Amino acid sequence: MKLREIAHSRTGDKGNISNISLIVYNMDDYELMKDQITALKVKEWFQNIAKGEVIRYELPSLGALNFVLTNALGGGVTRSLSLDRHGKSLSSFLLEMDLKS
C-alpha cells in the first residue's frame, strides 16, 4: 500500500528549507503512519534532493507529521536551477512511499 492511500500532504518552502506535512485522512491511521514514516526513512527517500538533516515533528491532535528537510531546495527559490524551484511537488513524491498495513 502506498502512503497516498491513507494520507495527504503539502509542501512549503522557506529559503533552502522545505517542509512537507503528512496528514492522515482517518485519525485511526495516525499511529501506523507515525510508526513507519520516520525521519530516517524520509531522509533516505529524498536522498538525492535533501542534502541536509531531516527533522520530524508530531502533531497528534491534527493526525499529522511535519517533516523539515534542510538544504533541500538547491539553494532556495531565488537561486535554484530546478524546474520546480519551490519544491512544491515534493509532497507528491513523499506519498509514493510504501506502507505495511
1 binds other proteins (CB under 8 A): no
Give, rounded to a whole angstrom, the gap between the first and last alpha carbons of the chain: 7
For the chain, how are helix, strand and coil distributed in percent, rounded to 5? Answer: 25, 30, 45
In the bound complex, what is the minimum distance in angstroms from residue 36's beta carbon to other proteins?
A: 19
CB closer to other proteins, 8 vs 43: 8
In the bound complex, what is the minimum distance in angstroms from residue 65's beta carbon to other proteins?
A: 9
Collapsed DSSP state (helix, strand, coil) of residue 46? coil
In sequence order, what are the residues at sequence separation of 6 or more whose Cβ sits closer than 8 angstroms to the Cβ of residue 12?
18, 19, 20, 21
Question: Which 29-88 positions form the footprint of other proteins (CB under 8 A)?
Answer: 55, 57, 59, 61-64, 66, 68, 74-79, 81-83
In the bound complex, what is the minimum distance in angstroms from residue 22's beta carbon to other proteins?
A: 9
2 binds other proteins (CB under 8 A): no
Please give the residue ranges that form the binding site for other proteins (CB under 8 A). 4, 8-10, 12-17, 19, 21, 23, 25, 55, 57, 59, 61-64, 66, 68, 74-79, 81-83
